[in-house]
A and B are shown apart, each in its own frame.
Chain A
Amino acid sequence: MTSEVGAATGGADPAMEGRFKTELVTLIPHLRAFARTLTGDQASADDLAQDALMKAWDARASYQMGTNMKAWTFMILRNQFYSEKRRSWRQTQLDQDAAERTLVAVDDPQSPVALDELRMGLGMLPAEQREALILVGAGGFAYEEAAEICGCAVGTVKSRVSRARRALQGILETGAYDRDGRPAGDAMNSILAAAEHLGQAR
Chain B
Amino acid sequence: MMMSYNGGGRALEREDESAEASKRAPRRALDEARLRQQAIGVKLRQMFDRVVNEPVPDEFLDILRRHDEQAKGGDDK
Interface residues of A (CB under 8 A from B): 10, 21, 24-25, 28-30, 32-33, 36-37, 46, 49-50, 53-54, 57, 114-115, 118-119, 133-134, 137-139, 165, 168-169, 172-173, 188, 191-192, 194-195, 198
Tell whether, in the assembled complex, residue A172 and residue B52 are in contact, meaning their CB atoms are under 8 Å apart: no
The stretch from B2-10, B17-25, B34-42 touching chain A is: B34-42
B36: which of A115, A134, A169, A198 is its contact (CB, 8 Å)?
A169
Interface residues of B (CB under 8 A from A): 33, 35-54, 56-57, 59-61, 63-64, 67, 74
CB-CB nearest in chain B for A58: B67
Q: For B44, what are the chain A residues with a Cβ–Cβ distance below 8 Å?
A: 118, 133-134, 137-138
Q: For A25, what are the chain B residues with a Cβ–Cβ distance below 8 Å?
A: 61, 64
* Distance of A188 from chain B, by nearest CB (Å): 6
Q: Decide: A46 near B57, CB < 8 A? Known: A115-B43, A138-B47, A192-B35.
A: yes
Tell whether, in the assembled complex, residue B51 and residue A29 are in contact, meaning their CB atoms are under 8 Å apart: yes
Q: For A191, what are the chain B residues with a Cβ–Cβ distance below 8 Å?
A: 36, 39-40, 43
Q: For B54, what are the chain A residues with a Cβ–Cβ distance below 8 Å?
A: 29, 32
Tell whether, in the assembled complex, residue A165 and residue B60 are in contact, meaning their CB atoms are under 8 Å apart: no
Q: For B52, what are the chain A residues with a Cβ–Cβ distance below 8 Å?
A: 29-30, 32-33
Tell whether, in the assembled complex, residue B43 and residue A50 are in contact, meaning their CB atoms are under 8 Å apart: no
CB-CB nearest in chain A for B46: A115
A115: which of B47, B57, B63 is its contact (CB, 8 Å)?
B47
Q: List 8 A-B contacts (CB under 8 A).
A: A21-B64, A24-B64, A57-B64, A118-B43, A118-B44, A138-B49, A195-B38, A195-B39
